[in-house]
A = this chain, B = another copy of it.
Amino acid sequence: MATTYPLVARQPRAPRASVSIGDSSIGPDTTTLIAGPCAVETPEQTLRAARMAQAAGATVLRGGAYKPRTSPYAFQGLGERGLAILTEVAAETGLPLVTEVVDARDAELVAAHADMLQIGARNMQNFGLLTAVGKIGKPVLLKRGMSATIEEWLLAAEYIAKQGTIDIVLCERGIRTYEPAYRNTLDIAAVPTVQRLSQLPVLVDPSHSGGRRDLVLPLTRAALAAGADGVLVDVHPDPEAALCDGPQALRPGDLEGLQNAMRDMAFVMNRRIPVPEPEQRFRTDIESATH
């Protein structure tokens, strides 16, 4: 397989890569939390969500100004005004920002505000967008398409890499199956599989995977246990009033659980949590921990 995506493939026995965003770095021995609101609605909501993210230990802020929505009548995001809000909140909290680009024509504009550019699931095979984003040179977060195979996903990354941007972070966000109990089915085996095939870091989005708040913590733990380099989580100060995906957003009362899950799993997986505080490695030997 390696020959079909030579730039993003992993060489046998070679270490996996890390991707830097702001002062933070993603993979291969860290456990990154990227969090924030699904959609930017107001400056206040965005700032409160960013503070929530920070309280939970997030080192990167996520938030959407351009929202790809199934219906043309649904809230489509605040667009450029949303970008301005995000930039301000990022500055105020000191967090680097990742936000979605949905149109190649907006790539430069979004890149002027963001530290990392997100390609959403619906655009994983929007090759013009992949190419435009790959030309910019900023790190890219590439979500897996709703029914993309792993090979198609890595080939989409190869489109970006071919333009000169190798700082790509993959994000598994659930695939479409017959099961109606959740919005998507988190393909947890994709994490170790991608890490074997590719040098790129891989995150998991436990919020969009299940589309249900009660699944976010178990799926976060499962993702990290499977070896993911971090997670991407929706938080909202008042999910009932959210304009987008409220049922999956964590509430203020859920943050301690998230932080504990991140910390516990970093510990057991022997990874660092990339906190702003002086770096600490939680554990070197679980044997000693149990005595």
User: How would you classify the secondary structure of chain A's contact residues: helix, strand, loop or mixed?
Assistant: helix
- Say yes or no: B102 contacts A105, CB within 8 Å: no
Q: How far is the CA of A210 from the CA of B264 in the complex (A)?
A: 26
A225 vs B218: C-alpha distance when bound (angstroms):
7
Residue A109 at the B interface, CB < 8 A?
A: no
Shortest beta-carbon distance, A69 to chain B, in Å?
7
CB < 8 Å: which of B103, B186, B289 contacts A189? B186
What does the 1/0 interface line of A221-237 toward B look like (CB < 8 Å)?
11111110000000000
Q: Are B192 and A215 in contact (CB under 8 A)?
A: yes
Please tell me if A12 contacts chain B, counting CB pairs below 8 Å: no
**Copies of this subunit:** 4
**Contact present for A185 and B179 (CB under 8 Å):** no
Say which size band chain A's interface belongs to: 35 or more
User: By the criterion CB–CB under 8 Å, are A210 and B226 in contact?
Assistant: no
- Which residue in B69, B105, B123 is a CB contact (below 8 Å) of A105? B105
Let me know if A32 is at the binding interface, CB within 8 A. no
Interface flag for A146 (CB, 8 Å): yes
Q: Which residues of B contact A196 (CB under 8 A)?
A: 214
Closest 7 CB pairs of A and B: A225-B225, A147-B147, A103-B128, A221-B225, A289-B289, A222-B226, A192-B218
Q: Determine which of B149, B158, B215 lies in contact with A178 in the assembled complex, contact meaning CB atoms within 8 Å.
A: B149
